[in-house]
Each structure stands twice: as C-alpha cells, then as structure tokens.
Amino acid sequence: MGQQKTADIILKEVFGYGEFRDRQAEIINDLMAGRNILTVMPTGAGKSLCFQIPALLFDGLTIVISPLISLMQNQVEALKLLGIPAATLNSGNSSAENRDIWHNMQDGSLKLLYISPEKLMSERMLEAVQGLTVSLFAIDEAHCISQWGAAFRPEYEALGQLHKRFPHIPIIALTATADQATRDQICEKIFSNEVKTYLTGFDRPNISLNVEIKNGWKQQLLRFLKNRSPQNGIVYCLSRKKTEEAARLLQEKGHNALTYHAGMMAEQRAENLNRFMAEPDLIMVATIAFGMGIDKADIRFVFHTDLPASPEAYYQEIGRAGRDGKPAEAHMLYGMDDIRMRRMFIDQEDAAEDHRRRGHQRLNALLAYAEAPECRRLSLLRYFGDEPDYERCGNCDLCDNPRETIEATEIGQKILSAIYRTGQSFGLGHIVDILTGKETDRIRQRGDDQLPTFGIGKDLGINDWKSIARQLMARGFVLSDMEFGSLKITDEGFRLLKGQTDFRYRPDAIVRKTATRKSKKTAPDLPQEDDDLFQALKAFRKELAAARGVPAYIIFSDKSLIDMAICRPQTLDQFGEIYGVGAGKKKEFGERFITFIAVKR
C-alpha cells in the first residue's frame, strides 16, 4: 500500500496525471514485488509509465532496451523535461558524454538508461552492468523479437540471456502490436515462460456512444433524462459552480440528484458518495474529482455537459457506466466555447512547452472523435490502437442515424500533399496557411509559397480545413505526433494520396450555432425578481434591434432572455452557455448584456 501511495504521488507530482489508467497500478505493484511482466497495451495508453514509475521507486538503475536511437533520444529528452535523471548510450554520443553517463551510473544519480540491444548484449557491457546496482530491465517494442529476430537483429533474441544472467532482477517487456503467436514467442524466449501477462482491451460494446452539439445544456440535459425511468447516472460538469447549478435544476424537476466536487467538505462528499453507492436512482452531478475508485456496477449513463480534456479522460469517465455488462449510455455535449476553454486551460498550465503541446494534441484527438464522419466507436478505439473487426458498431449515434457526407477524395489529397511536401514536420496551422495561400513569415522564409499546394485550397475556409484534417485523423489517414504536434501520413493516408482509396467528408462538422428561432411561447412562471429582469432585457433588446433596423428576435429569442434572467451571467464564458448564444453573438453582444444585467441586479 505504501508503494502504491508513493507511486500515486510520483504520477501526480512528476508526470502531472491525476490517476492511473487501466491496469498500470497493478503492473507497477507486480514489478515492485519482483515479478516478470509482459504488457500488451495500445499505443497512447501509457506503457512507459509502467516502468518509469518503478524506476523512480527502486533505489537502483533501470535499463531500458529500445530499438531506435531517435526513439531513445526523444524519450530521454522528455524525461529530462520532467526533471528525471535519464540518459542514452548510443553511437551518437561524444566520449565526454559517455564518461559523464558512466560516472552518473556508478554514483547512483542516474535513474533510467536507454540503450540498444546490440550495445547492451555485448560481453563487455554485460560485465559492466554486473558491477552496477540494477533494479529493473524494460524491453520496449518487444515484438521486434518476433519481427526481426535472428535474421536482422539477433541481439533481440539474445535478450533471453538477461533473466538467466540476472535472475533476481525483474524484467518487463512492452509492446502494442503482439498477436498470440508473438506473445507466446516473447514469453518463451525472454522469460522461459516465467512471466505474468497483461492484455488491455478498450471496447465496451454495451455503452452507446452519443455526441450532441451544445445548444442550451440545461434543456438538453432535461431532455436526455425525460423518458428515463429513475436510475443511477453521472453528470459531469467542468466547474464546481456548474455542478451546483445542474443539481438544483434536476432537483427542481423531481430528480434525486446530489453534487460532488473538491470544494465541498470532505464529510459531505463522503456522505453523498455513500448515498450514490447505496441508492438505485441517484444522479451524481460532479466534476472530475468524482470517479477515482468508484466501482458501481449499475451506473446506466454518463452525461458530459462539457468537453472532457482528452480521449483518455473521456474514456475513463464513460467507462464508469455499464460495468455490469447491461446497456448503458454515454452522452456528450460540446461546442466551440468548449474548444476555446480547453485550449486556454492547456496554454495557461504551469508546465513545460512539451507538456502543453501534448495537451493540444490530445484535445485534437478528442475533437476528431466528436466530429467523426462514421462509426464513433471505431474512431475512439483506433485512437487507442485497437482495430475492431467491424466497420460499424451499431451502438452509436452515427450508426443509428448516419449523417450525409460528400465525396472529398481530392480535398483529402490536397491536405495530404501539403503535409507530404513539407516533410511531415509541421502542425495543422502551417498546413492550412499553405492551402489557403496565407503569406506568413514562416512560409516566405521556407519558400513554401513556391509549393504546388500553395493556395490550392482558397475555396474553403480555415475552419473547413481544420474540420477536414480532424476527419482525416478520425479515419486514420493522418496522425498527430504526440511529441511535437506535427502531422504524419499513415499507410492508409498514402493509399488515399495515391488514389487507391477514397475519402468522404461531412461539412460543418465543427459546430456553428445558428440564430435561434423566435419563441412563440410566453415566459414561464418566473420568480418576481427574474421576471423583472426578463422584462428589462426585452426592452433592452428592442433598443438594440431598433438601432440596427431589425426585428427583435434577430437579436435574441425570448427563450434566450429567459435563460439570461435565470442564470445572470457575469463572464463571457458564462454568457456563452446561455441558450441561443453562439460565438458571434457572444462577441457582438456579450459585454453589453453582461453589463446591463449587472446594473439591474
């Protein structure tokens, strides 16, 4: 337990993550107990943490065997940015660098050493390792044992000597691409079958996946719950204030609802959690503070009123539903303001630039999921490295109600060509600038304005190209480098570039809120104070409409004014959550309505 608590602290304080994913904690515990481990875990699921955290828990050195110098260097630099003493011994090092590394290995100040199998498995190196305090061996990309083997890199097969030569040092082998035959080969050659295997899977077919454009979250939440019999569920909100607001709304409508967030007294949180675990019809309205350690089998839905931070966070949160295997539903709202706020959170985070870059790429991946043109589950699973044996899951909104797409192979080829001609070394912003013919300093300095792809996409707007790029990501034609944010073309993407496959695009995948239709209903029974504000807002709207020479409903519908009167927004972010407020209206009217409401308080 002490080890686990220490591992939790390292996870948060060193790596900046709030909780372990999937079976990471179990793997770490087993390694700390001296067991050998084979971990088959999808790309992006956190394999490296499975040996990096034990490396910091153990007193001695962890040796990581990796196939590529560039991969080792990237991982070492990432660790250094986190303040972790790491190094790599490779042919690119100078003599002085190698001397410093050896000194740090011998005095115990180095925690992780990355090395190729060829360099490690030389007799001279093995003898030197025997004189060091080594606590763990980690074999990354372990499938290379089968993929390359004796014919190409015989030292990978020679790694089987490690557990014989160092029988008391645990070994972990990690891969994302090992079928049963490859796993069997790894277990036999590396471990002589003395190993515990962890296989992680991501498909939860009983959970229906749904994403909806945010357009008045209160009404959407109530509509979602309207025809449901009382059942357990979780409603996730971005802020503490919003959880309180949403819980009050549900309680007023007769739902059994409670709140859970970090701003509550610990005793109250514990009481609410106990009720949630015991009662069959309770809805917990919570921030992401709720969920760690929650293992309640009969949660029937998870509703996100705001966009989560990443696919990992989203997957963890929806994964709390339907653990009994019975049908459950994940319903997420998202809008343009969600995207802006998430970008802002990442940029304002007190972290290294590399950490923020990864945050943006994770957000891009979640947007690709939200904007997927076809089966939503396929998009999510492919992010985690799974490739299901079906083309449509039949249990998501896009399978239930397919959306119209247009043939866009040539459009896709244009963006892929721009990515390719710039060396697959840039993020989306630079690629879009090229396509739309924007003459930036970088484009002029690099001479990218001379490329055949410069300006060939002027017929589409910037947001259109961003949406197309995300849909290419969702289809697996393009991936975003988690390390540097540059766009890379996949094998399937090259097939599209060559015209060997096609691409269909769903226009307007990024939500653009439209003007709200005039409500023919009068105001509902409002408290006197709210009704007074509503009437004042109507008069103010009339003045604005007269000044512009347009009907009043063009400014805002009555329904929007009612929402303002009830919610009384004080910031632009809060104003953006009002029913019928899109980005344009927020920019145009937000400050004036916020000021007007403040004066009328």
Q: What is the pTM of this model?
A: 0.46
Q: In 3-state terms, what secondary structure has residue 481?
A: coil
Q: Which two tokens stand for residue 601?
A: 């308080």
User: Which H or E run contains 533?
Assistant: helix 528-548
- Where exactly are the structural domains of the chain? 2-199, 207-334+386-396, 337-371+404-512, 528-600
Considering the chain, what is the average pLDDT of its residues? 82
Task: Report the pLDDT averaged over residues 321-337.
Answer: 85
pLDDT of residue 247: 95
What residue type is 217 in one-letter code?
W
Q: What pLDDT digit, counting tens, does each position of 394-425 carry? A: 999 888 887 777 888 999 999 999 999 999 99
Instruction: Give the CATH architecture of domain 337-371+404-512.
Output: Orthogonal Bundle (1.10)
Instruction: Provide the pLDDT confidence category of residue 154 given band limits of 50, 70 and 90.
Output: low
How many angstroms separate the CA atoms of 272 and 251, rounded?
Answer: 15
Q: 196: buried, middle or exposed (CB in 10 Å: 19+, 13-18, 0-12)?
A: middle
How many angstroms separate the CA atoms of 493 and 479, rounded?
Answer: 9
Give the Å distances, CA to CA, from 361 to 321, 462, 479, 484: 26, 18, 10, 9
Q: Residue 24 pLDDT more than 50? A: yes
Residue 467 CA, chain-centre distance (Å), reads 17
**Do 212 and 400 contact (CB within 8 A), yes or no?**
no
Q: In 3-state terms, what secondary structure has residue 261?
A: coil
pLDDT of residue 584: 65
Instruction: Provide the pLDDT confidence category of residue 343 given band limits of 50, 70 and 90.
Output: confident
Task: Report the pLDDT averaged over residues 428-453.
Answer: 92
Q: What pLDDT digit, counting tens, does each position of 48-85 carry? A: 899 999 999 999 999 999 877 756 776 787 787 778 89
Give the Å distances, CA to CA, from 35 to 135, 158, 498: 12, 21, 48
CATH (one of 2.60.40.10, 3.40.50.300, 3.40.190.10, 3.90.550.10) for 207-334+386-396: 3.40.50.300
Instruction: Provide the pLDDT confidence category of residue 215 given band limits of 50, 70 and 90.
Output: confident
How many angstroms separate the CA atoms of 186 and 144, rounded?
Answer: 9
How many angstroms separate the CA atoms of 208 and 301, rounded?
Answer: 9
How many angstroms separate the CA atoms of 54 and 47, rounded?
Answer: 12
Instruction: Provide the pLDDT confidence category of residue 368 given band limits of 50, 70 and 90.
Output: confident
The CATH class given to the 528-600 domain equals mainly alpha
Q: In 3-state terms, what secondary structure has residue 172?
A: strand
pLDDT of residue 295: 58
Q: Which two tokens stand for residue 88?
A: 């790599």
First to last CA, the chain: 53
Instruction: Provide the pLDDT confidence category of residue 244 given band limits of 50, 70 and 90.
Output: very high
Instruction: Provide the pLDDT confidence category of residue 384 given band limits of 50, 70 and 90.
Output: low
**Do 569 and 594 contact (CB within 8 A), yes or no?**
yes
Pick the range with the lowest mean pLDDT from 183-187, 461-465, 571-575: 183-187
Task: Report the pLDDT averaged over residues 130-142.
Answer: 90
**Do 466 and 510 contact (CB within 8 A), yes or no?**
yes
pLDDT of residue 182: 66
Instruction: Provide the pLDDT confidence category of residue 520 given band limits of 50, 70 and 90.
Output: very low
Q: 378: buried, middle or exposed (CB in 10 Å: 19+, 13-18, 0-12)?
A: buried
Q: Which two tokens stand for residue 136?
A: 């763990």
pLDDT of residue 170: 95
Give the percent of the chain with pLDDT over 90: 31
Task: Report the pLDDT averaged over residues 166-189.
Answer: 78
pLDDT of residue 514: 32
Pick the range with the lowest mean pLDDT from 91-100, 303-312, 578-587: 578-587
Strands (DSSP E) contained in 362-519 are: 406-407, 478-480, 487-489, 504-505
pLDDT of residue 151: 41
- 8-state DSSP, 82: T
Task: Report the pLDDT averaged over residues 500-526.
Answer: 52
Same fold for the pair 2-199 and 207-334+386-396: yes
Task: Report the pLDDT averaged over residues 510-526.
Answer: 38
What residue type is 271 in one-letter code?
E
User: According to the CATH classification, is domain 2-199 in 1.10.8.50?
Assistant: no
**Do 40 and 200 contact (CB within 8 A), yes or no?**
yes
Q: Residue 2 pLDDT more than 70? A: no
**Do 482 and 44 contact (CB within 8 A), yes or no?**
yes
Q: In 3-state terms, what secondary structure has residue 478?
A: strand
